[in-house]
Chain A
Amino acid sequence: MSDLHTFLTHNAIIDLIDGMANVLQTRLSDHRIDNPAMIGIHTGGAWVAEHLHRALGLDEPLGLLDINFYRDDFTQSGVNPQVRPSTIDFDVEDRDIILVDDVIQSGRTIRAAMNEIFDYGRPRSITLVCLIERSGRQLPIQPDVAGLQPPLQTDEHIRLNGPDQLSLQISRSRKPRNG
C-alpha cells in the first residue's frame, strides 16, 4: 500500500459522531421510535457504536455482531483469526434496532449483519447508521444516517483505526480492491 494519509483525527471524528447522534435523534422521533436498541458491527462499527450509544444515552446494553460466519464469501476467505463472539443481550423480537457500521461500500457486510440479526429474532425495524458512506455499492442497501460522504476513487480505500484514538485513513493501492 502506498500513499497513506490521515483524513480525520480523533476529536474531529467524535464531533462527527455527535452530529450524527443529533440527526439520528430527530429521525427516531419522526418515526416514533422511543426505545431503540443498538447493535455495532465488529470491529470499526463497534467503536463508533460505543460513542453513539453514549451520546444517545441508551439504557439497553450495546449489542455487538461479528459477521464472519455470515459473509457471502466465507469459504474463500475462511475464518478470521480474530473472530469474536456476537453478543446481543436483549431480545431482538419486535424491537427497533439501530445498526451501526464504520464504512459502507459494497453493502455486503450490512446484508450479512441483517441476516444474522434475523437469526436472533424478527425486529420491528432496522435503522442503518454509518460513519462513512462511500461509492462502490453492489447491493441496494443505503444508510439512513451517514456522517460523511467523501468522494473516493475505486483504487482508494478508507479505514477507521482505533479503539482508543480514532482516526480515518485513506490509502491508495496498485490493484483496485474487490469491495
Chain B
Amino acid sequence: MASRHDNNIQLNEDGGLRHFLTIEGLSRELLTQILDTAESFASLPGRPVKKVPALRGRIITNLFFENSTRTRTTFELAAKRLSADVLNFNVSTSATSKGETLLDTLRNIEAMHSEMFVVRHNQSGAAHFIAEHAAPGVSVINAGDGRHSHPTQAMLDMFTIRKHKPDFTPLRVAIVGDILHSRVARSQILALNTLGVTEVRVVGPRTLIPTDARTLGVHVYHDLEDGLRDVDVVIMLRLQHERMDGALLPSEDEYFQLYGLTNERLEVAKPDAIVMHPGPMNRGVEMDSEVADGPRSVILQQVSYGIAVRMAVMSMCMQTHKSGELQNGGQS
C-alpha cells in the first residue's frame, strides 16, 4: 500500500524540523540539537531582559482542544520570550461537535496568518491530522494528542536528565505508573532509546502496561523494587483518578503501597539517582512528600527547563525558507 510516512512529515527537504509531532523518526543528532539549542535559552531567566527578538512579528496560536492551563502557559511564555505574538484558542470539544469540523477551525485560524500552531487534543493522531492539512509554511507543534505523544515534555525531561548526567549512554531509566494511558511515557521511551541509554524499564501492574510493551523497546517489571534496582533515573507518572473507575486499579491506597515512591524504596536505586515527575503530582499516591521535596527530586527544574526547551523547538520549526549551511561570516 502507498503508506504515508508520518515521520518524514516532520522534516522539510533539508532534514530540518518543520513540525514537531512525535519523537518517532527523529535522529539522535536532531534530538541533541534541540537540547543544545535549549541551552542557549536556559540562561535567559538570569537576565533582566528575558526575551530574544528571534520571532518578533510572528504569530503563534495555541490550539487547545483539551484544557491545560499549565502547558498552555508554558508555551505562551516560550513564545513571548521569542518575542512572538500569541493567540489562544480554547476550543472545547463540544463546540466542534456543534458542527464545525476540526478542519474548518483550522482554516479559520490560518486566515489570521498564524504561522505556528501548538495543538493539544484528546485523540491520538490529532496533531498529525492538523499537520497533514496545514498550509505550506505553517508549522505544528504537538502539545499532547490522546495517548500517543507529548514530545516537548519528553525533551524537557531529557534536558533535565542531561543536566545531571551528561552522558546518556550508561543510564538505566525506570518509568513507573500508568504507561498504558500515558503519551508522556511513550515519548520518553522513544527519546531515551534514540539518545542511546543502556536500558529503559517500565514498572506497573499489568492493567496499566500496554499489550506488547516490549515492542516499544523496554523491559517490563511488575515489582517496584526489582524495577528500581540500580537505576540512575526514576520517572514517576501521574495516576489519574478515572483509573479506579475503569476497574484498572482497586484504590490509590493500594497503588501507593505497591508503586509509590518513598526514600526507603529508593535505596535500591543508584545513590546519585534522580527522581522526576512530569506533573502535576499527587502527593501520597505516586510519591510521598519526603521524596518530592528531597535532595534527589529535580521536579521543579523540569518545570523551569520546559520553557527553554519549548523555545528551542519553536525557533527550530519557524522558518520561511530552508536553511543552508550557516556561517557567522555570512552577514558580518
Contacts and interface: CB of A to CB of B under 8 A. Distances in A.
A71 to B, nearest CB: 7
B193 to A, nearest CB: 22
Interface of A: 41-44, 66-71, 73-81, 83-87, 101-106, 108-109, 115-116, 118-121, 157-160, 177-179
Given A79-B323, A83-B36, A73 B329 contact: no
Contacts, number: 107
Interface stretch (B44-52, B160-168, B198-206): B44-52
A96 B156 CA distance: 37
Contacts of B122: none
Contact of A119 (B49, B320, B321): B49
B185 to A, nearest CB: 28
Interface stretch (B53-61, B63-71, B255-263, B298-306): B53-61
29 contacts: A66-B40, A67-B328, A69-B40, A70-B52, A76-B321, A77-B324, A77-B326, A78-B318, A78-B319, A78-B322, A78-B323, A79-B33, A79-B316, A79-B323, A85-B42, A85-B43, A87-B43, A103-B329, A105-B331, A106-B332, A108-B331, A108-B332, A109-B328, A109-B331, A119-B51, A120-B48, A120-B49, A159-B327, A179-B330
B318 A75 contact: yes
A49 to B, nearest CB: 13
Q: Is the interface of B mostly helix, strand, loop or mixed?
A: loop
B111 to A, nearest CB: 20
Contacts of A44: 328-329
A95 to B, nearest CB: 14
Interface of B: 16, 33, 36-37, 39-40, 42-43, 47-49, 51-55, 58, 82, 312, 315-316, 318-324, 326-332
Nearest to A130: B332
A119 B52 contact: yes
A178 to B, nearest CB: 8
Contact of A76 (B52, B320, B328): B320
A116 B327 CA distance: 19
A178 B330 CA distance: 8
Nearest to A104: B332
A67 B40 CA distance: 10
A64 B322 CA distance: 27
Contacts of A101: 332
Give the top 6 A-B pairs by smallest Cβ distance, nearest first.
A119-B49, A78-B323, A69-B52, A69-B54, A78-B319, A105-B332
